[in-house]
C-alpha cells in the first residue's frame, strides 16, 4: 500500500444530535412552513460535512441525506411518480408544492394511498417501493444531487455523490399493477440508462470526480439474466468519456456471482463489505485474481453494529487486500445510517461499558485510524491498538457478559418444550368454547396512540417530577379510556393500548437482565420514525414479570377477551444491537426462555389471548438462500419455545408487517401460532393468496387498513379488501384488523378507522 490510502464512508445518519430533522419535517406537516424545513435540512448537511471533514475523512459522500427516504428520492429524480400523486398535488411550481407531492408519495393524503413500504434488505430501515408500469417514461430531475454537491463544494469539499444504482432501483421497484402480463420493472432498464448517463454527465460538469452507484440488490441471489443486465448497464454507463469515475458499492453480504461481472466491467472502483457473511468476499476476490487497475474500497468496520472494531483483524484483512487491487481504501461496511450518532452523548452509561461501543462518530475514528495504520505502519497507531485490545479484553472477561445459570438453563432445553400439547384443530375447539367469538372477529394489533400526555408522564417519571404511584395512576386512566373506546366501537378482542411502553423492544429490554438501553441512541426506522435499539450486552434472563400487572388490570375492566402483548425473541434480536461473540441462535434461545416465563405468568393471571409479535422474522432472513435454513430453524424454535408452555384454551397470536412473506410461508406455518396478523393493505391482500396457496392451516388476520398513512379508509375500501381475503381464504379462519399498531396515529383518525373496520367486518359477515 501507498500513502494514498484514504478513509471514507458511504453515508452518515441524517437526523442531527437532537433529531432536528424529525421535528422540522413533522413541523412542516403541521404548519406548512417551507423555509424552516429547508433551512434545518441545509444546516444539518453543513454540520455533517464539517464533522466528517474534521474527523479526518479523505473523501466525503453527498446526496446520502434525505428528508424521508433515499429510494423515494431516486424515484422522484427519475420521474417515477404515480399518476395518483400527481393528481393529488398537481402544482409543483413552488417548493411547497414539490414537498407536498413528495410527502404524498411517502404518507398518502386523505384521498390517495402512499407508496408501499417494506424493509431495506435485512435491516430495520424501511424504504418506499417505487411503482413502475410497462409504459413508464423516465425523466431526470438532478436538482437535489447537484445542489448538495455544489453546497459542499462552496464549503471547500469536493464530495462523492451517492446514487442508488440502476439495477437495484429497478429490482427494488414493483409493477404498478402486479401480475399484469408478467411485467417486471427490470425490463425498463434500456429506458432508464440514458437518464443515469445524463445524471453522470451533469455531476461531472459540476466537478464531481467520483460518483458512487449503490447496488445492494446484487448481494442477493440473482439469476444469470439479472447479471447480464448488470453487465450491460455498466458497459453503457462507462462508455462515455464525459463522466466521473464510477465506484459501484455493495454491502450487507457477499457479492457472489455478481463479483466477476462487476470486476470485468470498466467501472473504476468497487466497494465491498468484508464483515459478517460478507467476509467471504475476501476469498472470492482472490479467486478471480483481484481487481487489477481498479480501486477497492474495503468495508472492514461493521456499519450495522455498535461494538468496538477488532482493529488487528481489520488491518490483517487490509494487508491481504493490498495485493488484490490497484488501490485499497478504508470504509465502514455500509452507510452509518444504521447505527446511533455518538456514544459520548450517553453520559449515564458506565465508563468501562461505554468503552466497548463504537457509534457512528466513533466509527469515523476507527476508519481514519486504520487508514493511518496502513499508510504509516502499525507504529503510527500503536497506542490506539493497545487501547482497543484492552477494551475488547475487558468486555470478554466481564461477569455481566457471561452468566452460568442462564447458560445452564438454555443447555437443558429439550424437544418437548418446543411443541404445544395438542394440534391446532383441537386447540381451536378449546379456544372457541372459551372465547365465544363471531366469524371474522375484529381486533387491533396492540398499541393505541401515544399522546403528548403519555410522553410527558414518562418524562416526568424519569425526572422525578412524578412518583411511581402517580405514573401508574396516569397509565390506568389511559387504559380505562382505551378499553371503553374499544367496547363502544364494538371490537371483539381488546388490547390495553400499551400506554406504559416507549417502544415494543426497548420496553422489554429495560426489564431484562443482559440488555442495555441507551438515552440518545436514535436510529431512523422510516421517515420521521426513530427508535433506540437496545444493546444485548450479556446473557439474558427475566428478573420479574413485565406485563402481567397491566394486562390483568385491563382485563378487569371488561368481559371481552383482553390480549396480553409481548415482543417475540427474533424481533428482540432484530431490533437490538446483538452480541457478536456468540451465535445469534444462542442469544435467541436465552431471550425465548425469558419470554416463556412471561407467557406462562400471563396465562396464570387469566389472560386467554396472548400475542407474541414477530414482525422481524422475515426481515432478519439471511439475504442468501444458502444461509436461510439454519436461521429459520433457530428462529422458529425460539418462537415455539416462547409460546408452547400454555394450555389448549389459551390462544396464541403473532404479528408480522412490512416485508415480503412469500419466501417464509413454511416458517410461518411452522410457528404454529393459532392466529397470525399480517400487513396486507398496501399490497392489496397479496399475502392472503400466498398463505392460501401454501394451505396455511391456522387463522389469519390480514390488515385491512394501512396505519402508516394519516388517511381514514372508507368502509367500502375495507369491505373490498376483506371480500378479497374471503374469496381466497376460509372466512371461518379470518380475522379483521389494521396492518400494525396505532401508536403513531392520532385518536381522531383511529376512532374513525376502527369504526369503519367494525362496519366492514359486520357487512361481510352478514353476507356469508
Catalytically active residues are: 708
What pairing do the DSSP bridges indicate for beta strands 651-656 and 245-249? unpaired
Q: What is the 3-state secondary structure (H, E, C) of 194-246?
A: HHHHHHHHHHHHHCCCEEEEECHHHHCCCCHHHHHHHHHHHHHHCCCCCCCEE
Secondary structure class of 720 (helix, strand, coil): helix
Residue 707's nearest CA partner among 668, 754, 660 is 754
The partner residues of 291 in beta bridges, in order of sequence, read: 325
Q: DSSP H helical segments within 466-583, as ranges? A: 468-489, 506-509, 548-555, 569-574
| Rounded CA separation 626/257 (Å) | 13
DSSP 78-93: TT---HHHHHHS---S
Give every CB contact of residue 414 below 8 A, 6+ residues apart in sequence.
Answer: none
| Rounded CA separation 709/753 (Å) | 11
The partner residues of 273 in beta bridges, in order of sequence, read: 299
DSSP 107-165: H--SSS----EEESTTSS-EEEPPEE-TT-------HHHHHHHHHHHHTT---EEEEE-
CA distances from 691 to 121, 177, 321, 695, 718 (A): 22, 20, 46, 6, 20
End-to-end, the C-alpha distance of the chain in Å comes to 73
Per the structure block, which three cell numbers stand in for 510? 429495560
The partner residues of 212 in beta bridges, in order of sequence, read: 162, 247
Q: Are 613 and 658 in contact (CB under 8 A)?
A: no
| Rounded CA separation 729/699 (Å) | 10
| Rounded CA separation 616/168 (Å) | 22
What pairing do the DSSP bridges indicate for beta strands 269-273 and 291-301? parallel
| Rounded CA separation 514/296 (Å) | 39
| Rounded CA separation 738/707 (Å) | 7
**Cβ atoms within 10 Å of 75's Cβ, excluding its own:** 26
Q: What is the 3-state secondary structure (H, E, C) of 302-361?
A: CCCCCECCCHHHHHHHHHHHCCCEEEEEEEECCCHHHCCCCHHHCCCCCHHHHCCECCHH
- Between 311-321 and 382-396, two packed helices, what is the crossing angle to 10 degrees? 130
| Rounded CA separation 538/622 (Å) | 24
Per the structure block, which three cell numbers stand in for 177? 399493477
| Rounded CA separation 701/635 (Å) | 21
**Cβ atoms within 10 Å of 307's Cβ, excluding its own:** 17
| Rounded CA separation 252/620 (Å) | 12
| Rounded CA separation 642/553 (Å) | 23
What pairing do the DSSP bridges indicate for beta strands 513-516 and 535-541? antiparallel
Torsion over CA: 598, 601, 607, 608 (sign): positive
Question: Alpha carbon 712 to chain centroid distance?
Answer: 25
| Rounded CA separation 346/559 (Å) | 45
Amino acid at each position: 500500500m501507498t500513502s494514498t490510502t484514504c478513509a471514507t464512508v458511504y453515508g452518515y445518519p441524517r437526523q442531527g444530535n437532537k433529531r432536528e430533522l424529525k421535528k422540522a419535517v413533522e413541523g412542516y406537516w403541521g404548519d406548512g412552513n417551507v423555509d424552516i424545513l429547508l433551512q434545518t435540512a441545509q444546516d444539518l448537511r453543513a454540520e455533517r460535512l464539517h464533522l466528517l471533514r474534521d474527523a479526518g475523512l479523505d473523501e466525503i459522500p453527498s446526496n446520502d441525506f434525505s428528508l424521508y427516504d433515499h429510494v423515494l428520492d431516486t424515484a422522484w429524480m427519475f420521474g417515477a411518480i404515480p399518476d395518483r400523486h400527481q393528481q393529488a398535488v398537481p402544482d409543483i411550481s413552488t417548493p411547497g408544492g414539490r414537498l407536498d407531492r413528495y410527502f404524498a408519495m411517502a404518507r398518502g393524503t386523505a384521498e390517495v394511498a402512499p407508496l408501499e413500504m417494506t424493509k431495506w434488505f435485512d435491516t430495520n430501515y424501511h424504504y418506499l417501493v417505487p411503482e413502475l408500469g410497462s409504459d413508464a417514461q423516465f425523466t431526470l430531475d438532478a436538482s437535489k444531487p447537484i445542489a448538495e454537491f455544489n453546497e459542499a463544494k462552496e464549503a471547500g469539499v469536493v464530495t462523492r455523490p451517492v446514487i442508488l444504482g440502476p439495477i437495484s432501483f429497478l429490482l427494488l421497484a414493483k409493477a404498478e399493477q402486479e401480475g399484469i402480463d408478467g411485467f417486471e420493472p427490470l425490463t425498463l432498464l434500456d429506458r432508464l440508462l440514458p437518464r443515469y448517463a445524463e445524471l453522470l454527465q451533469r455531476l461531472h460538469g459540476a466537478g464531481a470526480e467520483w460518483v458512487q452507484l449503490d447496488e445492494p440488490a446484487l448481494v442477493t441471489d440473482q439469476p444469470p439474466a439479472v447479471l447480464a443486465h448488470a453487465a450491460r448497464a455498466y458497459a453503457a454507463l462507462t462508455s462515455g468519456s464525459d463522466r466521473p469515475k464510477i465506484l459501484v458499492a455493495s454491502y450487507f453480504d457477499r457479492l457472489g456471482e455478481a463479483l466477476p461481472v462487476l470486476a470485468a466491467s470498466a467501472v473504476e472502483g468497487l466497494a465491498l463489505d468484508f464483515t459478517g457473511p460478507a467476509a467471504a468476499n475476501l476469498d472470492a476476490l482472490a479467486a478471480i485474481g483481484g481487481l487489477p487497475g481498479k480501486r477497492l474500497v474495503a468495508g472492514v468496520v461493521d456499519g450495522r453494529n455498535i461494538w468496538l472494531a477488532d482493529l488487528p483483524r481489520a488491518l490483517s484483512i487490509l494487508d491481504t487486500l493490498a495485493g488484490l487491487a490497484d488501490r485499497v481504501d478504508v470504509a465502514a461496511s455500509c452507510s452509518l445510517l444504521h447505527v446511533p450518532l455518538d456514544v459520548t452523548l450517553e453520559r449515564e452509561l458506565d465508563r468501562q461499558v461505554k468503552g466497548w461501543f463504537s457509534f457512528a462518530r466513533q466509527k469515523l475514528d476507527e476508519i481514519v485510524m486504520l487508514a493511518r495504520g496502513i499508510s504509516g505502519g502499525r507504529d503510527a497507531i500503536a497506542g490506539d491498538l493497545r487501547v482497543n485490545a484492552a477494551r475488547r479484553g475487558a468486555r470478554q472477561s466481564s461477569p455481566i457478559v457471561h452468566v452460568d445459570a442462564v447458560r445452564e438453563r438454555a443447555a437443558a432445553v429439550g424437544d418437548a418444550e418446543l411443541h404445544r400439547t395438542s394440534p391446532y384443530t383441537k386447540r381451536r375447539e378449546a379456544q372457541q368454547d372459551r372465547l365465544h367469538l363471531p366469524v371474522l372477529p375484529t381486533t387491533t394489533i396492540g398499541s393505541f396512540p401515544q399522546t403528548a400526555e403519555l410522553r410527558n408522564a414518562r418524562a416526568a417519571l424519569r425526572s422525578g417530577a412524578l412518583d411511581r404511584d402517580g405514573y401508574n395512576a396516569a397509565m390506568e386512566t389511559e387504559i380505562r379510556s382505551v378499553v371503553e373506546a374499544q367496547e363502544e366501537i364494538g371490537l371483539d378482542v381488546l388490547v390495553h393500548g400499551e400506554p406504559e411502553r416507549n417502544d415494543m423492544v426497548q420496553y422489554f429490554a429495560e426489564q431484562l437482565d443482559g440488555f442495555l438501553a441507551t438515552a440518545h441512541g436514535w436510529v431512523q426506522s422510516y421517515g420521521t420514525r426513530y427508535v433506540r435499539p437496545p444493546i444485548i450486552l450479556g446473557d439474558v434472563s427475566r428478573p420479574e414479570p413485565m406485563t402481567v400487572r397491566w394486562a390483568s388490570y385491563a382485563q378487569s375492566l371488561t368481559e371481552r377477551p383482553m390480549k396480553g402483548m409481548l415482543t417475540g425473541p427474533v424481533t428482540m434480536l432484530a431490533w437490538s444491537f446483538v452480541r457478536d461473540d456468540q451465535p445469534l441462535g444462542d442469544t435467541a434461545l436465552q431471550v425465548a426462555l425469558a419470554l416463556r416465563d412471561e407467557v406462562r405468568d400471563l396465562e396464570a393471571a387469566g389472560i386467554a389471548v396472548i400475542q407474541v409479535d414477530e414482525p422481524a422474522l422475515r426481515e432478519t432472513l439471511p439475504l442468501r438462500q444458502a444461509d436461510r435454513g439454519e436461521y429459520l430453524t433457530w428462529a422458529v424454535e425460539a418462537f415455539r419455545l416462547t409460546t408452547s408452555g400454555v394450555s389448549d384454551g389459551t390462544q396464541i397470536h403473532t404479528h408480522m408487517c412490512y416485508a415480503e412473506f412469500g419466501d417464509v410461508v413454511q416458517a410461518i406455518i411452522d410457528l404454529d401460532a393459532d392466529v397470525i396478523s399480517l400487513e396486507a393493505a398496501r399490497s392489496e391482500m397479496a399475502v392472503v393468496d400466498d398463505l392460501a396457496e401454501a394451505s396455511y392451516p391456522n387463522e389469519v388476520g390480514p390488515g385491512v387498513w394501512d396505519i402508516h398513512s394519516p388517511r381514514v379508509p372508507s368502509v367500502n375500501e375495507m369491505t373490498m379488501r376483506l371480500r378479497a381475503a374471503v374469496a381466497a381464504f376460509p372466512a371461518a379462519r379470518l380475522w379483521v384488523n389494521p396492518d400494525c399498531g396505532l401508536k403513531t396515529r392520532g385518536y381522531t383518525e383511529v376512532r374513525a378507522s376502527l369504526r369503519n373496520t367494525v362496519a366492514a367486518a359486520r357487512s361481510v359477515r352478514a353476507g356469508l
